[in-house]
Amino acid sequence: MSAYTASSRRGFPWLGALVAVMLVFASVTVQVARDRRYPQSQVDDRLLYVRSGEALKRLVLSYDALAADIYWMRAIQHFGGERRSTSTRRYDLLYPLLELTTALDPLFSAAYRFGAIFLSEPFPSGAGRPDLAIRLLQQGIKHDPRWQYFHDVGFIYYWHTGRYSEAADWFQRAAARPGAPYWLTPLAAATLAEGGQRGASRLLWEQLRITSDTEFMRQAAERRLVQLNTLDLIDRIEPYIVRYAEANPYGPLTWERLYAAGVLRGIPLDPTGVPFDLNPWWGTLTVSEKSSLFPMPAEPGPRPPAHP
Amino acid sequence: MVIAKIAVNVFKESVRDKVLYNLVFFAVLLMAASYLIGQITAGQDVKIMKDLGLAAAAVFGLFIAVFIGIGLVSKEVERRSIYALLSKPIRREELILGKYAGLVLTLVINVAVMAAALYAVLAYYDATVQGMARERWDAPALDPALLKPIAMILVELMLVTAIALFFSTFSSPILAAVLTFGLYVIGHFNADLRNFEQVVESRTAAWIARTLYYVLPNFAPFDIKSDIVHGRPVSLGYMAWTSGYAVLYITLLLVIAILIFSRRDFK
C-alpha cells in the first residue's frame, strides 16, 4: 500500500514519456535514413512454403476458413500485383494459391469463380490458362454442384478456347441444375448453332452483365460488350481501306494518305478514344496495345495458343 | 453454494488479472479488419469478417482457457494459499468444481461480448452495403445461425478448460500447458486415428489407434464455423450429440481431477 502511494505521489513520468517518444522518432528516422542510403534488394517473394492443401489443412487445425481467406487475399494481391507490374508478368503462383484456398475452404465460391476468370483471361491481363480455370471449377463442382460453376466452365470453353460444342454441353448441364435461370437453355442452343458468332457472344455477355451480382463481373461484361462493338466498328471501316489498298498498291498505307485520298474523314478511334493500328500493307485494322480494350477477343478461326 | 462463491472469486480474480483486456484487442482487431478487408477481398468482406470474428473468439478463448486453467490449482499450491483454503469448511471437490465453474463463467462472458462485438460490426456492414452486393453472400450478414458456431466454440472451450484443470491438479503449469495444447492438437487429428487401418497392416497398431480415437478428446466435431458461414444447415441434433459428448468428457475429467486432488498430500 505504501509503495503504491509513494509511486502515485511521483505523478506521471513526463520525462520518461518524452524520452520514449523521442526514441520512437529516432528509430523511425534511422530506418528512413538507412532505407535511403541502402535501398532494400528486391527479394523474390513469389514463394509458397506449403503447396499441399491437405498438409496445410492439418497445420491450421480448425482455423481452415480463416487460412483460406488469407490465401484468397494473397491470390488477389498476386494477380493484381502481376497485372500492374511494369516488368515481366508472371502469374505462376496464381493457380497454387487458388488451389490452396479451395482446399482449405471447399465451399469458397468466389475463389472458384473469380479465380477461374483470373486464370482464363488471356496473357498479359490474366494467366492465359483456361485449362487450369476449368480444372479449378471442376474441383468446385465436386464439392458443390451449383449451376454457376457449370455455366462458368461452358463460358471458358466458349470464350477462351473456342470449343463451342463443349461450351454448349456445359451450358446444357448448367440449365439442368436446380435454380438455373431460364436463359441457359436458349444459350446452349445458340452456342451450338452459331458458336463463335458475335451474336451468340453478345447474348452471353449481355446475360452476364444483367445477372451478375458483382461489380467486377459487370464491368468485365461491359468491357467485353464494348470490344464486340469495336469489332463491329472495324468491320464497317475496314472494307473501305482494304478496297483502296487493293486498288492502289503503291507503297505503305498511312492515315494521311487515306485522308488525302478521301477514304477516311479522320483517324478512326476505338470507343476508348485510342486510334486503331493500321496494317500498312493489307489495310486491316487492329486495336492498339495502348487501348484499354487490348487484347481483343479472338474471332472464329485459328486461335493463338492459350498459354503465354 | 460454496462452489458458486469460489466461481465468483475465480471470475473476480480473472478481472483483477486484466484477462478481459483481450476484449479490447478483439474489438480493435475487428474494427481494423473491417476497414482493411473491404479493400482487398474482392467482395468477400462479410464472409471474411465472420471467419475472422469466429476464429478470433476461438483463439482468445483457447488462450484464456489454457493459461488460466493450468494455474487454477497449481498456482494455489505454489503460493501456498491452498493451506488457507483447505483449512476452511471447503471440500476438495467443491474447490475443483468452483474453480472450473469460475473459469467457465469468465469464458461465457468473454465469448458473449465477442459475439456481440461481431454482430455489431456485421450490422454496420449490413447497413452500408448496397442491395445487389448482398446477393453474393451465402448467408445474411446478421445471420442468427452464427450463434451456433459461437455456442460450439464455448462448449469446446469448456472441454479445454477441463483438460487444463485436470493437468493442473498434478503437474507444473508449464507441463500442464504443453499437455493441454498437445491434446488440443491431437484432438483435431482424431479422424486419422480412426482410419489408421487403411495405412498400416498391423492389426494391433490399428486397434491401438482406434482405441486412442475413442479415448482421446475429439475436437474436430466442434468446428461448424465454415458450414454456417457458407449458409449450410447444421442440425440442432448434431449440436446436441456433440455437446453431450463434451459434457460426458468434461465430467470424466473433473471426476479424475477430484480423485487426484483428493489424494494429494499438501504437508
- The partner residue sitting opposite B132, judged by closest CB among A108, A109, A213, is A213
The nearest alpha carbon in chain A to B134 belongs to A213
Task: Give contacts of B 197-226 with A, CB under 8 A.
Answer: 219-220, 222-223, 225-226
Per-residue pLDDT, averaged over B243-266, amounts to 91
Choose from B41, B226, B228, B234 for mutation: most chain A CBs within 10 A: B226
Residues of B within 8 A of A109 (CB-CB) are 138
Residue A301: predicted pLDDT: 44
CB–CB contact A213 B232 (8 Å):
no
CB–CB contact B44 A110 (8 Å):
yes
Query: How near does any CA of chain A get to the CA of B192, in Å?
Result: 11
Residue B222: predicted pLDDT: 93
Q: Could you read off the pLDDT of B131-145 as tens digits, one per residue?
A: 666 777 788 888 999
- Nearest Cα neighbor of A109 from B30, B55, B135, B125 is B135
Would you tell me how many other CB atoms lie within 10 Å of the CB of residue B103? 28
Question: Beta partners for A278?
Answer: A285
- Asked if B137 reaches chain A (Cβ–Cβ under 8 Å), the answer is no
Instruction: Categorise residue A251: left if φ over 0, alpha if ψ from -120 to 50, beta otherwise.
Output: left
- The partner residue sitting opposite A107, judged by closest CB among B48, B135, B226, is B226
DSSP state of A191: H
User: Confidence class of residue B43 from pLDDT cuts 50, 70 and 90?
Assistant: low
Residues contacting A244, CB < 8 A, separation 6+: A253, A258, A261, A263, A283
CB–CB contact A107 B40 (8 Å):
no
Q: What is chain A's mean pLDDT, rounded?
A: 82
Grid coordinates standing for B136? 453474393
pLDDT along chain A (308 residues), means of 10: 51 87 92 83 63 83 89 88 75 91 92 91 85 95 94 89 88 90 79 72 80 74 87 90 84 84 88 88 82 71 36
Per-residue pLDDT, averaged over B187-200, amounts to 79
What is the sign, positive or negative, of the torsion defined by CA atoms of B141, B143, B148, B150?
A: positive
CB–CB contact A110 B43 (8 Å):
yes
CB–CB contact B42 A216 (8 Å):
yes
Exposed/middle/buried for B33, CB within 10 Å: 0-12, 13-18, 19+? Answer: middle
CA separation for the pair B230, A109 (Å, rounded) = 9
CB–CB contact A213 B44 (8 Å):
no
Residue B166: predicted pLDDT: 93
- Asked if B138 reaches chain A (Cβ–Cβ under 8 Å), the answer is yes
Q: For a pLDDT cut of 90, what percent of chain B falls above it?
A: 39
Statement: residue B200 has pLDDT above 80? no
- Helix or strand (DSSP H, E) at A238: helix A215-247
Residue B162: predicted pLDDT: 95
Q: What is chain B's mean pLDDT, rounded?
A: 87
At CB < 8 Å, which residues of chain A contact B?
Answer: 58, 61-66, 68-69, 72-73, 76-77, 105, 107-110, 114, 213-216
Query: How near does any CA of chain A get to the CA of B246, in Å?
Result: 17
Residue B249: predicted pLDDT: 94
Residues of A within 8 A of B41 (CB-CB) are 69, 72-73, 76
Provide the Cα torsion B139, B48, A134, A75; round to 10°: 170
Per-residue pLDDT, averaged over B202-228, amounts to 88
Q: Could you read off the pLDDT of B143-167 as tens digits, one per residue?
A: 999 999 999 999 999 999 999 999 9
The nearest alpha carbon in chain B to A80 belongs to B40
CB–CB contact A213 B41 (8 Å):
no
Residue A45: predicted pLDDT: 57
Residues of A within 8 A of B136 (CB-CB) are 110, 213-214
Statement: residue B182 has pLDDT above 70? yes
Query: How near does any CA of chain A get to the CA of B138, in Å?
Result: 9
Grid coordinates standing for A78? 498476386
The nearest alpha carbon in chain B to A108 belongs to B230
Residues of A within 8 A of B138 (CB-CB) are 107, 109
Query: How near does any CA of chain A get to the CA of B175, in Å?
Result: 22
Choose from B45, B136, B186 for mutation: most chain A CBs within 10 A: B136
CB–CB contact A65 B185 (8 Å):
no
- Asked if B41 reaches chain A (Cβ–Cβ under 8 Å), the answer is yes
pTM of the entire predicted model: 0.72
- The partner residue sitting opposite B223, judged by closest CB among A62, A109, A110, is A62
- Nearest Cα neighbor of A98 from A123, A124, A127 is A127
CA separation for the pair B169, A226 (Å, rounded) = 73
Backbone torsions φ then ψ of A129, nearest 5 degrees: -125, 70
Residue A299: predicted pLDDT: 59
Residue A2: predicted pLDDT: 47
At A13, which amino acid appears?
P
The nearest alpha carbon in chain A to B132 belongs to A213
CB–CB contact A110 B136 (8 Å):
yes
Statement: residue B48 has pLDDT above 90? no
Residues of A within 8 A of B226 (CB-CB) are 64-65, 105, 107
